Amino acid sequence: MHGLPPQPAARVAKVPMREGPAVDVAGQRAGALGAEAADHMIENVIGCLALPMGVATNFRINGRDYLVPMCVEEASVVAAASNAAKMIRSGGGFAGYADPPWMIAQIQLVRSGSRKPDEITSAISSHRQALLAAGR
């Protein structure tokens, strides 16, 4: 991983500084998602699978540099993606677009306690401007 430290803990500390806004990777550690939480997210949950998370480098998309997180079980996938991105980068990088409407955020309620859905919707709506500002 060119430009990043060889130890995973040191990489985690470096990635936010290298690519701009800090990212919270604490919740991405192996086993962080419990089966009960997962059961609220998708149907027929029987467990959670932990995979190693790596970072593919060299991605330039629409003129902006990105580190791309990848969870894979096969060796060399992250390195191959980084190598391909490096070759494409030399020609200007990737170009992408999306037709409107664009989804910029999603709020998922895993546990709402005793609050009713309309109370939760009202609470979210009352903080709409702050949520939109945080997403920019």
The burial of 114, by beta-carbon neighbours within 10 Å (0-12 exposed, 13-18 middle, 19 or more buried), is given as exposed
In the beta sheet, which residues pair with residue 66?
59
pTM for this model (two decimals): 0.55
- Residue 117 pLDDT: 80
Q: What is the mean pLDDT of the chain?
A: 79
Write out pLDDT tens, residues 21-67: 444 554 555 456 777 777 777 777 777 777 888 899 999 999 999 99
CB 96 within 8 A of CB 61: yes
Q: Is the pLDDT of residue 98 over 80?
A: yes
